[in-house]
Amino acid sequence: MDKNTFVFSTTDDEEGKKLDEMFGIKPTFLRVQPSGALLPSKIVHYAQKIRDFQVYEDDIWLISYPRTGSHWAQEMVWCIEHDFDYETTRELIILRTPLLESSILIFNEKYDELLKKLGDSVEAIAKMPRPRYIKSHLPWDLLPKQLREKKPKTIYITRNPKDTCVSFYHYCTAFHNMKGSFDDFAELMLQDSGPMCPFWNHIMPFWKMRDQANILFLTYEEMKRDQTAAVKKAAKFLGKDVTNEQIIGLCEHLKFSKMSTNPSTNLENMELLDEVHKKDPNFKFIRNGKVGDWTNYMSEDLSRRFDKWTEEHLRGEAFTGLKFNTDVKCDEE
């Protein structure tokens, strides 16, 4: 298939019907080629605009599959880039490092008015002063074409699929009024038929590019295992000299207990969360900083199937060397 041509198709199989049923909208998602990703149907209005988006060499891009630790990573990158001036972090994180495709992700009718207030996310980000800090959950083939030519610094973060699945399930339930059990959601992910799936296709191109000078590939688990090392790694990649005192201060700032109570990162004052809190007063955008939370949700059989699915992909040549250290045990993010 010509990668310059977009093809949008509905998912009329059993998994597609299940997805529409869970989200209460038809069609909720469209299968988009190239990439094969399942994206909200509004992508038809934005795909070409995103592909043609102007990229600059001094941009900083943070790309990930949803709920893999990007919120945490973008706060780390912002602080390093702004010389640890924590006054600059008082502004909402989603305004400092906005999501390129946010206009397509808000597809629940309850948020139509908010969407009008926010405007076109692609156009708004295009007008941001440089250097721009831009986040995206889109797969490589649907990202701006100029990323290949301008090669701005790009941080990619991923996470073990079990914890990703749990976190994404809670997000979809809270933000998009998704109905259905965790098992249903997990099954769709295993079948490459969940939101933003396929999971492994999202990771693959960035893993292949990990040795390029403008790419930093991180895993949530390595950041949890040794946050100091992760900060040093990111600072080196960004060309910043950091002191031990600055590293200690940033690690303190990035703790789960701090980010989960920080209004600029937990988004508690954001209008978007008003409807969410009406349904669940205890909902937290930064929900759980632990590795291994999946053990509270997955049966032995489901866990085994996820392990097999993961092993089958990591065994392939495309993912040689990729590992998720799921033995990390730490309550602080």
Could you state, in order of their start, the residue ranges of all structural domains in the chain?
55-315
Nearest to 42 by CA among 114, 120, 156: 120
Q: Residue 206: its pLDDT value, please?
A: 98
Token pair listed for 93: 């994180």
pTM beyond 0.85: the answer is: yes
Contact at 8 Å (CB) between 125 and 132? yes
Contact at 8 Å (CB) between 158 and 66? no
* Yes or no: domain 55-315 corresponds to CATH 3.40.50.300: yes
Q: Residue 284: its pLDDT value, please?
A: 55
Mean pLDDT by 10 residues, the chain (333 residues): 82 89 88 96 96 99 96 95 94 91 75 70 97 98 98 98 96 87 97 96 98 98 95 98 98 86 65 56 59 94 97 94 74 43
Nearest to 156 by CA among 241, 226, 223: 223
Nearest to 77 by CA among 87, 65, 67, 89: 89
Q: Residue 275: its pLDDT value, please?
A: 58
Q: For the purposes of burial, counting CB atoms within 10 Å of the CB of 171, is it exposed (0-12), middle (13-18) or buried (19 or more)?
A: middle
**What HEC string does 206-270 produce?**
HHHCCCCCCEEEEEHHHHHHCHHHHHHHHHHHHCCCCCHHHHHHHHHHCCHHHHCCCHHHHCCCC
